[in-house]
Amino acid sequence: MFDNKEVLVTGGLGFIGSNLCIKLVELGARVTIIDNMLPRQGGNLFNIRDIADRVTVNVSDVRNQLSMNHLVKGKDYIFHLAGQVNHVDSMKNPLQDLEINCTGTLVLLEALRHHNRDAGVIFAGTRGEYGSSVKLPVDEDHPTNPKGIYAVTNLTAEKMVLVYDDVYKIRGVCLRITNTYGPRHQMAHDEYGVFNWFIRKALDDEEIPVFGDGRILRDFLYVEDLVDSMLKVAAADEAYGKVFNVGTGVPVSFFDLAEKIVAIAGTGRTKFTEFTRERKEVEPGDYYADITRIVRTTGWRPVTTLDDGIARTIDFYRKHRKEYW
């Protein structure tokens, strides 16, 4: 399916993007990455070390219209993962969030409108678009009441992709992705991607700070399963023009997660901590996904158990510790 296909991955030096690029190269795709190495995010050249001689890397910004006009030409698929992902920064510096997540997406779509209407666009949005759950599990018809600017800009970018699909027939599919973990995530700070932060704390034999009573439920997805879902929606004609949840559907509390990480790592310990104000403001509460739609449309299902995913992630960071902090 992807053999000899031309693929552009925005944000391809980051966590999800690099794992996706590794898989695409394995499948024979010709991969181009655009990433601006935004400070305090996950961009890391080490992430693509094993495929560096088989991908083209363009260190540029998705907001740059001239770069994007050039980069979309001749591409079969565009996986749009470049984003401002730091939840804390999105509240401190909302205009940057707006510019990267909304203007960046619109620049990409305009490049496609003028230079390539045949590519399929796969947009990586977030389960945060729903805000606080009014029923569980959350399906795609659940109301969207984002709690933070990051989630607002993701929802807006999603709508832009759907409008270009509808009006200009630039095929787009939008994912609302749950909390994802695994190798190649930044671990320098805890402002997004708290799962990997828990792993860092355990590896350093430190206390893992669990906010409140630790009973908030989340749906944790291993990155290889997410990559597989992205490839499956890209390959399914009937997926375009639609929104899909991507998750496991299995709820796990932060406390149980921390305890599991400690047990598998054999180091670290759990400690209850008060919420910081910044955290509390954007905390939507319990979430786990109803994944019926993506399963029915593409046949995708997550296959990695939480225990396996944690063990594989710990193994990766034990080997490559110095590259991630």
Contact positions toward ligand NAD, by CB under 6 A?
10-11, 13-17, 34-38, 41-43, 61-63, 81-85, 100, 104, 124, 126, 154, 177, 179-180, 186, 193
Instruction: Choose between 73 and 207: whose C-beta lies nearer to ligand NAD.
Output: 73
Query: Pick from 176, 291, 297, 171: which is nearest to 232 by CA?
Result: 297
Query: Pick from 33, 109, 12: which is nearest to 69 by CA?
Result: 109
Instruction: Choose between 92 and 271: whose C-beta lies nearer to ligand NAD.
Output: 92
Nearest approach in angstroms of CB 310 to ligand NAD is 15
Nearest approach in angstroms of CB 209 to ligand NAD is 19
Nearest approach in angstroms of CB 266 to ligand NAD is 25
Nearest-angstrom CA–CA distance, 159 and 162? 5
Instruction: Choose between 63 and 272: whose C-beta lies nearer to ligand NAD.
Output: 63
Nearest-angstrom CA–CA distance, 94 and 149? 6
CA dist list (Å): 59 to 15, 24, 43, 82: 16, 19, 10, 12
Nearest approach in angstroms of CB 117 to ligand NAD is 22
Angle at 238 between CA 237 and CA 240, to 5 degrees: 75
Nearest approach in angstroms of CB 225 to ligand NAD is 12
Instruction: Choose between 35 and 165: whose C-beta lies nearer to ligand NAD.
Output: 35
Nearest-angstrom CA–CA distance, 187 and 153? 24
Nearest-angstrom CA–CA distance, 8 and 163? 21
Nearest approach in angstroms of CB 221 to ligand NAD is 8
Instruction: Choose between 237 and 254: whose C-beta lies nearer to ligand NAD.
Output: 254
Instruction: Choose between 84 and 116: whose C-beta lies nearer to ligand NAD.
Output: 84
Please name the amino acid found at residue 318: R
Contact 236, 297 (CB under 8 A): yes
Angle at 113 between CA 108 and CA 119, to 5 degrees: 75
Instruction: Choose between 165 and 191: whose C-beta lies nearer to ligand NAD.
Output: 191
Nearest approach in angstroms of CB 181 to ligand NAD is 7
Contact 40, 89 (CB under 8 A): yes
Contact 130, 143 (CB under 8 A): yes
